Structure 1
Amino acid sequence: MGTYKAAFFSVSLAIVLLGLVWPKVGSCDTPETKEKSLLWKVSGKGIKTSYLYGTFHLVPKDQFSLPRKVTQKLEKSETVVFEVDLDSPKLSRMISKSMHMAKPIESLMTVQDYTLFAKFVRDSLERNMQTFRYIKPAFLGQLLLYPKLLGYNPESYDLALLNLAKKERKDIQSLETPEEQVALFEKTSLETQTSQLLQNIKQFDRQRKLMKGMLTLYQQEDIYSLYDLIKAQSGSEDSEDLLLNERNEKWMAPLLAMMQKSSSFVAVGAAHLPGEQGLIQLLRNQGYKVEPVLR
């Protein structure tokens, strides 16, 4: 994965591994009547027929599959829209600057916790802790834990779609600036990042099972059950507003402007689609028809 494109995932996956998207163990109560699809057709007065597609930013290589119905709709669209410009050198520079801190990681932990952390890095990840001492805890989660969860050569739906959009010479647009992406990360204190990183290490086996469960729901195209898992986490209200609801609301105006101008294929994280404040319902609230594309 190129340096510039990896920058986007450094933010997105750090957010996941901060514990902000890890649910508590428990059952979901999603009604069975909810439509199951990752791909949704958007139509109505004043806009060109467009599509929403929910991505899972990185998946194990052997679990990656891009359905033909998805590639067909992208090929028929004039504009392809992502959360952020995946080719942005500016985003890469900003994240590189943001991920470093002046004090070493051990200054944020007790001696006991740092010993546990260093042992995990050495024994489970086979890495030298000295390399990572001045990297913020959230980024350490992305750099150290995520490869262990998904394998060291995962595939990206976003990058696969970007490459196809380039091949088809589509107009490529983004919903957020590099500044907005980095700001999401900066809103979490170093102390909170440290606490959540340690929790993820202490519960690593459980985190692995939860990731497997999330991937299974994604492969089943069950975005509503996936959304319920995300909502079922501890302290989810603030993070849900920050990472999903506020961004969905902010995206509506530019999304509609793009759909009015040209037929658009919009690829964003799957958790942005369902829910009362998800993109599907927000579009329906404004009178647009949003329906699952089943084949």
Structure 2
Amino acid sequence: MLRGFLLISFCSLLFAGKILAQGNSLLWRISGNNLTHPSYLYGTMHSSDPRVFHFADSVWASFETCDAFAMEVVIDESVQSSLLTNIFMSGNTTIRSLLTMAQYDSLQRFAIRNASINISDFDRMKPLYVAMMLEMLAGGDSFVNSPDPFLDQFLANAAGKQNKEVKGLETAGEQMAVFDAMTYTDQAQLLMKTVRDYSSDTLEYERMVQYYLSNDLSQMMEFENDMGIPDSLYEALITQRNIRMARRIDTMIQLSSTFIAVGAGHLGGPGGLVNLLREKKYTVVPVLPSYNNYLKDGWYRFTSRRQGFTADFPDVPSITQDTTANGRKIQTYTSFLKSANGKTDSFSVVCIPGTFDRILLNQYLPVTKENFRLSEETLTFTCDEKNGNKSQGKILKGKNITYILENRYRKKPEYCDRFFQSFAILAE
């Protein structure tokens, strides 16, 4: 299911050089027009390339403040159903019938040599789908073969763990309708262009990644402004979709603060989302990137304005939210580190609303276990678990939040002090 969807959404990236936002930032703050809380617009690359997950400091901070998350299409069971009914050509049309014998032979050789597939297995598939599939497989993009989520889905997963509402700006059917904007004959010619231009496209993709990593949208705008995309495809792929997405963003952000992730190619230009939202009387400004939170020793300094703390983690922490039977919403920030002894240690900050008391302590700590030891004086604890893991913890009292810090380890707490000493409650 995921793989089929990625073949669709990847088209936004393929043409991302055509239009890009004004200003060197991937993240944009949306305010004004009677909004009580800002929302954020974030330009992504629809890729699972590990490099695109190196977020600027402002991304996670902005992400956490929003109550909802929106992406181009929410991946669910309906996507697979829509895909299966839309990827094939109607009637008896085949790729072989759209190409000359010489073209088909050239396509077959390319598919076998570069993607290890037989093109005859995809003879009924719409040529644009085949073009994108070949480009990704031949380029070794982890989109198709990797179990890891692509960037947009990674953010959606993170939103789900935080119990944010996850919304789609389009339906799968609306996005796949892009493929009907060109005739089968024109799609077949674009497929052959993909084969002819493969070597240069690979180099251009790498350049695009580098521009993306540096947030250099001005360079991206200058890069291959005219990619030779047919007007009918461009109109369906970018122009009309931007109008539709801007209209739905307008509705969404009036209801709740929303972190919106879309392909970077949708942000800029007169018909881009930034300008379309400004036309709807919103103030849309770039959030300039910095990477100061990535520390020299490899750790990451994370700050939660919503929970009022800062702490150093081995990596960007994952965030989960649970609601207890009595209605308390507990937010947990966890990061993992493979220690020198080869074991994986975890570092967590648990944020519990309410002031510290014995009832809270009994409810959220394993005080009934024989191997749990708590110092009432220093509010520190240790625990030896049956599976051989050990843990050290610390309890801190905020004004309206109780923080429980915990380092779970196997052999010895190599970085416990490093973690605990970095923690600080933010001044109000």
TM-score, normalised to structure 2, is 0.61
Match of 1:129 among 112, 119, 123: 119
Q: Secondary structure, in 3 states, of the residue corresponding to 2:182?
A: coil
CA 1:224–1:245 in 2, change beyond 3 Å: closer, same or farther?
farther
Match of 2:4 among 2, 7, 21: 7
Does the Cα contact within 8 Å between 2:17 and 2:265 map onto a contact in 1?
no
Does the Cα contact within 8 Å between 1:8 and 1:91 map onto a contact in 2?
yes
Task: Give me the whole-angstrom Cα distance separating, in 2, the residues matched to 1:278 and 1:98.
Answer: 27
Task: Give me the whole-angstrom Cα distance separating, in 1, the residues matched to 2:158 and 2:13.
Answer: 26
Does the Cα contact within 8 Å between 1:158 and 1:267 map onto a contact in 2?
yes
> Quick check: which one's helix share is greater?
1
Larger deviation, residues 114-123 vs 95-104: 95-104
Aligned to 1:95: 83
C-alpha deviation, 1:98, in angstroms: 1.5
Does the Cα contact within 8 Å between 1:59 and 1:150 map onto a contact in 2?
no
Q: How does 1:8-27 map to 2 (within 5 A)?
A: 8-14=5-11, 21=15
Task: Give me the whole-angstrom Cα distance separating, in 2, the residues matched to 1:235 and 1:251.
Answer: 21
The one-letter code of the counterpart of 2:3 is: A
Task: Give me the whole-angstrom Cα distance separating, in 1, the residues matched to 2:24 and 2:17.
Answer: 21
Task: Give me the whole-angstrom Cα distance separating, in 1, the residues matched to 2:232 and 2:192.
Answer: 20
Aligned to 2:46: 57
Aligned to 2:180: 186
The one-letter code of the counterpart of 2:138 is: K
State percent identity of aligned pairs: 27
Q: How does 1:134-283 map to 2 (within 5 A)?
A: 134-152=124-142, 153=146, 156-229=150-223, 231-235=225-229, 237-283=231-277
Task: Give me the whole-angstrom Cα distance separating, in 2, the residues matched to 1:146 and 1:105.
Answer: 19
The one-letter code of the counterpart of 2:78 is: K
Task: Give me the whole-angstrom Cα distance separating, in 1, the residues matched to 2:52 and 2:246.
Answer: 31
Match of 2:108 among 101, 104, 118: 118
2:60 is the counterpart of 1:71: yes
CA 1:284–1:63 in 2, change beyond 3 Å: closer, same or farther?
closer
> Quick check: which one's strand share is greater?
2
Task: Give me the whole-angstrom Cα distance separating, in 2, the residues matched to 1:228 and 1:180.
Answer: 30
The one-letter code of the counterpart of 1:104 is: T
Kindly name which structure, 1 or 2, has the bigger radius of gyration based on alpha carbons: 2
The one-letter code of the counterpart of 1:262 is: S
The one-letter code of the counterpart of 1:66 is: F
Match of 2:74 among 57, 67, 85: 85
Does the Cα contact within 8 Å between 1:77 and 1:263 map onto a contact in 2?
yes
CA 1:62–1:251 in 2, change beyond 3 Å: closer, same or farther?
closer
The one-letter code of the counterpart of 1:80 is: F
C-alpha deviation, 1:241, in angstroms: 2.6
The one-letter code of the counterpart of 1:246 is: Q
Aligned to 2:426: none
Q: Secondary structure, in 3 states, of the residue corresponding to 2:24?
A: coil
Does the Cα contact within 8 Å between 1:82 and 1:175 map onto a contact in 2?
yes
Does the Cα contact within 8 Å between 2:13 and 2:46 map onto a contact in 1?
no
* 1:123-154 deviation digits (Å, cap 9, x = unpaired): 22222333222222111122222122243437
Does the Cα contact within 8 Å between 2:16 and 2:265 map onto a contact in 1?
no
Task: Give me the whole-angstrom Cα distance separating, in 2, the residues matched to 1:62 and 1:13.
Answer: 17
Q: Secondary structure, in 3 states, of the residue corresponding to 1:242?
A: helix
Q: Secondary structure, in 3 states, of the residue corresponding to 1:232?
A: coil
Does the Cα contact within 8 Å between 1:137 and 1:197 map onto a contact in 2?
yes
* 1:184-219 deviation digits (Å, cap 9, x = unpaired): 122222111110111111121111112112212211
Does the Cα contact within 8 Å between 1:224 and 1:274 map onto a contact in 2?
no
Task: Give me the whole-angstrom Cα distance separating, in 2, the residues matched to 1:13 and 1:42.
Answer: 26
**Structure 2: runs of 5+ lacking an equivalent:** 291-428
CA RMSD, Structure 1 to Structure 2 (Å): 2.6
Task: Give me the whole-angstrom Cα distance separating, in 2, the residues matched to 1:84 and 1:272.
Answer: 14
Aligned to 2:336: none
Task: Give me the whole-angstrom Cα distance separating, in 2, the residues matched to 1:22 and 1:45.
Answer: 29
Task: Give me the whole-angstrom Cα distance separating, in 2, the residues matched to 1:132 and 1:64.
Answer: 32
Aligned to 1:39: 27
C-alpha deviation, 1:63, in angstroms: 5.0
TM-score, normalised to structure 1, is 0.86
Does the Cα contact within 8 Å between 1:272 and 1:278 map onto a contact in 2?
yes
The one-letter code of the counterpart of 2:122 is: F
C-alpha deviation, 1:291, in angstroms: 1.4
C-alpha deviation, 1:287, in angstroms: 3.0
Does the Cα contact within 8 Å between 1:83 and 1:175 map onto a contact in 2?
yes
C-alpha deviation, 1:162, in angstroms: 0.7
* 1:25-44 deviation digits (Å, cap 9, x = unpaired): xxx9x99xx52000111111
CA 1:16–1:108 in 2, change beyond 3 Å: closer, same or farther?
farther
C-alpha deviation, 1:180, in angstroms: 0.8
C-alpha deviation, 1:164, in angstroms: 0.4
Does the Cα contact within 8 Å between 1:78 and 1:171 map onto a contact in 2?
yes
**Structure 1: runs of 5+ lacking an equivalent:** none
